[in-house]
Amino acid sequence: MSDKTIDRVASATPARVARKVKGLSDRAIAWIFVGPTIFLLLAINIFPLIWTINLSFTNFKANRNREVEYIGLRNYERILGDSDIWLSMQATAHFLFWTLFFQVLIGFALAWLINKKFRGNDLWTTIIVLPMMLSPAVVGNFWTFLYQPQIGLFNYVVSFFTGVDPSSFEMLGSVDLAPWSIVIVDTWMWTPFVMLICLAGLRSIPDYIYEAAEIDRASKLRQFFTITIPMVLPFLMLAVLFRGIENFKMFDLVVQLTGGGPGSVTEMASINLKREAFEKWRTGYSSAFAIILFVTVFGLASIYVKALNKVKER
Amino acid sequence: MRRFFKGLFTLKRGPWEMVATLLIAVGVVMLMQPFVMWAYTYSFIVTLVGTVMFIIVSHFAEQE
């Protein structure tokens, strides 16, 4: 069957092309296939990266037509001594820490429950997974409505459970509540992702390990801490790193919800970078900032790949 | 522990990768902590050293 397909494809190749390809080595044909990808990679990824590194050592401003001066490491010195950028890093850290904490906690609990066989298991999995399939712009928009103090459902739900007047607090407008409002939305959206990875980890544990533990009269709690947790840990680590890298770069959801406000309490590193680059037009300075963020993400990604290989080895 | 230090002295991948990973993690924590400014200032160089080290040591031979 496959021979016939090969013959059909070979006979369909125009004679002119066949003659040209016939004289080429396997290596040359491989380069013909890989070449366009390498070219695009160089043009779209590598060249802009090198150009950004170059700009980070200059005082270049994209909206001014003046001579560019090389100022060495001064941009890096300014950024790493700037208390506003330090504050934006702290806002990022708050968002990162609490989203990871809640996503891991709720995601693992959901995966553990879903892993138990019960009626409607598949339906519940589908329902839980729905939020992560939505676009961040859509999620940001409808949560803005949910957070409205007058008409929003969120304030009414909080009021129902706590008895607080629904119009007495504003999630997106309050300096204290705005950082938590973005944590809630990201947790709502991405917990299913952590749940799916944990579920894969839970399902990879063979039943005979639990059966052996039962024979040894290990309690359910003991089984949970000595079998379940250690065997799911590499998967959990993977989920934490993946979400960590994604949330470190978080931009769209926060812009839709708070735009970095009120004041600058939710102005995360990526929003600050965008303001420096395209509102203040400090191109050299923002290039240095981008390189700092890039190195951080690259470092985290290296650990992520290492963790991924460990999971693969299992 | 002995195995770890032996791996470090004989330039093996595992222990060196662990050191690089630790440096990256410490760098990221220094970048985002809210307590001391000097840690924020030196965070980038620590992360950079960790990342470059990770790239280099991932080419070292595996420990038996």
Using the predicted structure, report yes or no on whether residue A1 has a pLDDT greater than 60. Answer: no
pLDDT digits (tens, 9 = 90+) for A48-103: 999 999 999 999 998 888 888 899 999 999 999 999 999 999 999 999 999 999 99
Structural domain boundaries of chain B?
2-57
A289: closest chain B residue by CA: B44
Q: For A294-306, how does the pLDDT look when each residue is reduced to its tens digit (9 = 90+)?
A: 999 999 888 888 8
With a cut of 60, say whether residue A2 has pLDDT above it: no
For the segment A9-33, the average pLDDT, to the nearest whole number, is 78
State percent of chain A over pLDDT 90.
58
Contact call for B51 and A298, based on CB within 8 A? yes
The mean pLDDT value for A131-154 works out to 90
Q: What is the pLDDT of residues A159-203, one digit of tens each?
A: 889 888 888 888 898 899 999 999 999 999 999 999 999 999 999
Residue A199 forms beta bridges with which residues?
Answer: none
Residues in chain A closer than 8 A to B43 (CB atoms): 80
Predicted TM-score (pTM) of the model is 0.83
Is there a cis peptide before residue A14, judged by omega within 30 degrees of 0?
no
- The b/e string for A157-170 (b: 16+ C-beta within 10 A; e otherwise) is eeeeeeeeebeeeb
What is the CATH code for A82-313?
1.10.3720.10
Residues of B in contact with A302 (CB under 8 A): 20-21, 24, 51, 54-55, 58
- Residue numbers in A near B25 (CB within 8 A): 303
Residue A36 contacts residue A44 (beta carbons within 8 Å) = no
Domain ranges within chain A, ordered by starting residue: 18-55, 82-313
